Amino acid sequence: MKLNGEKYRAGLYCRISKEDTGSTESSSIATQREMLCRFANEQGFEIYDIYIDDGYSGTNFNRPAFLKLQHDIDTGFVNAVIVKDLSRLGRDYIANGQLLEQHFPRHNCRFIALTDGYDSENEQSADIAPFRNVINELYARDISKKIRSAFLSRMQAGQYIAAFAPYGYMKDPQDKHRLLPDPNTAPVVAYIFDSLVNGSRPTDVARQLNLRGLPPPSVYRDGSKQGLWTGAAVRKISGRLTYAGHTVQHKTTKLSFKSSVTVKNDKSDWIIVKNTHEPLVTEQLFDAVGKILSRRKTPSGNAFKNIFSGLAFCADCKRSMSVTAGRRGRYNLVCGGYKQYGAARCSNHCIGYDDLCAVLSDTLERYAVLPDGDGKDRTKTALNKSNYLRILQDRADKLQTVIARLYEDKYLGNISDKRFEILINQYNQREKQIKHDIAAAQSDINKPGGIENGTYKDQNGRLKSCAPLTAAVLHSLIERIDVHRRGQSESQRLDIYLKLKK
């Protein structure tokens, strides 16, 4: 976590050259990627993207994935770069030095090289040191192989070999390879399955468990830890075949005996032994819940790309605003703390995604005045006049949809008359403005000069951006947006921090 509560958006960079291939397992792309992902997840970094240059030499920087990474750093999408070791970045130490000492710091970008124990944010690099040791162990793999095969035969016999019993169970005091229901937590597992099959969403179940003061699995196992139930934790429990009485093991393989780096195994390699212990739920219930959740999971959420990611925050708890699907295919942004943990962490801060888009394009048009000659590096897309016209027309179309929905909401009684009045006035004004702009742009098309590089001059001759609202545009023009709670007067305060150039 950064100090201001903003998450690190990490770019994970993997490289392997032709000379490297076939040398050691630890330098393969798959291994690099596993290692970096694992580290990023453990440290709570958001993984923005994984950049892979397969078969490129480290003697120069002319590599496609590296160039893309550099672009994403320049445009502010990535603010942390993680590599396995410094030589992944490049084998030219002078060029590496320039990146580390000038380029990354200039873009406020943290840099971590795992096996070298290098972390630009941490002089002692204490957090990294254990990882370096872990990797060094990868080369001594012979012992681990023997131990692994012993484990495998135990798994095949249905013996439970993990260090801890899964939540809901405890180890049989007579036989540590057998599971018995834990009288404290087995009822919680049953409650989770019952709620899910009756239609509760995982986040709702998590909220209920938190309200009852029940510790989540990690806290129950280790009382010194802190945390609350989350939708993800509930979902995880609902997918564990263990609760139907079967033992599922060998889901991951450790890279080496002493390593904490594990690789996920293919499902066909899982070792499943049926009816090894007392089930907490019936097979039918387990299957029913699985079907309900898989049906719900895929369509929304995943596909929706939130352009305010990393920009919009809850004004009170400073957590990111997170996307939820609202009614009739619409999306809302809600305080991530409230969404995940409920009233224990924050209160309901919520704004319609479309509303925020409308406010932002309006704000940018009004205030994001670019100094002359600055247009080129702000927006790299070379937009010509007709593109600009197309964007305006597109905006006009979208506005029509928004207005139509507003009437629909009023008709269905989803919105108060007062709020309807406020919004419809705003939209009408915007519509007028856009029509005016379209007329101006149409007449401008025949004149020389004018709109270039995603900028145009308004009536007062001020240079403005006319790029469509995208994450890239927002990140280049806006520092952050703080979303306040909706007030009683149906108004809602937004603090929009613009990046102003002097």
Is 113 or 346 the residue whose CB approaches Zn ion more closely? 346
Packing angle between helix 417-444 and helix 353-367, nearest 10 degrees?
50
In sequence order, what are the beta bridge partners of 498? 478
Q: What is the DSSP string of 98-128?
A: HIIIIIHHHTT-EEEETTTTEETT-SS-TTT
CB 182 within 8 A of CB 168: yes
Is 134 or 334 the residue whose CB approaches Zn ion more closely? 334
What are the φ and ψ backbone dihedral angles of 459, each rounded to 5 degrees?
-55, -30
Least distance CB 349 / Zn ion (angstroms): 5
Is 38 or 484 the residue whose CB approaches Zn ion more closely? 484
Is 126 or 344 the residue whose CB approaches Zn ion more closely? 344
- d(Cα 367, Cα 483) in Å, to the nearest integer? 19
Is 307 or 346 the residue whose CB approaches Zn ion more closely? 346
From the list 86-94, 330-338, 395-403, 456-464, the region that binds Zn ion by CB under 5 A is 330-338
From the list 166-174, 339-347, 386-394, 473-481, the region that binds Zn ion by CB under 5 A is 339-347
Q: How many CB atoms lie within 10 A of CB 209?
A: 21
Least distance CB 321 / Zn ion (angstroms): 8
- d(Cα 313, Cα 335) in Å, to the nearest integer? 7
267-270's contacts with Cβ under 8 Å and 24+ in sequence apart are none
User: Which of 117, 217, 337, 454 contacts Zn ion by CB under 5 A?
Assistant: 337
User: Which of 285, 335, 350, 423 contacts Zn ion by CB under 5 A?
Assistant: 335
408: left (phi over 0), alpha (psi -120 to 50) or beta: alpha
Least distance CB 485 / Zn ion (angstroms): 9
Is 316 or 490 the residue whose CB approaches Zn ion more closely? 316
CA dist 216 → 184, 194, 227, 231, 232 (Å): 12, 17, 7, 11, 11
By CB under 5 A, tell whether 483 contacts Zn ion. no
CA-wise closest residue to 350 among 329, 333, 364, 336: 333
By CB under 5 A, tell whether 424 contacts Zn ion. no
Residues in 310-329 at the binding interface with Zn ion, rule: CB under 5 A: 314, 316-317
Is 202 or 337 the residue whose CB approaches Zn ion more closely? 337
Residues in 343-402 at the binding interface with Zn ion, rule: CB under 5 A: 346
Least distance CB 340 / Zn ion (angstroms): 10
Least distance CB 338 / Zn ion (angstroms): 6
Give the angle subtended at the CA of 351 by the CAs of 345 and 354, to the nearest 5°: 150
Residues that bind Zn ion (CB under 5 A): 314, 316-317, 335, 337, 346
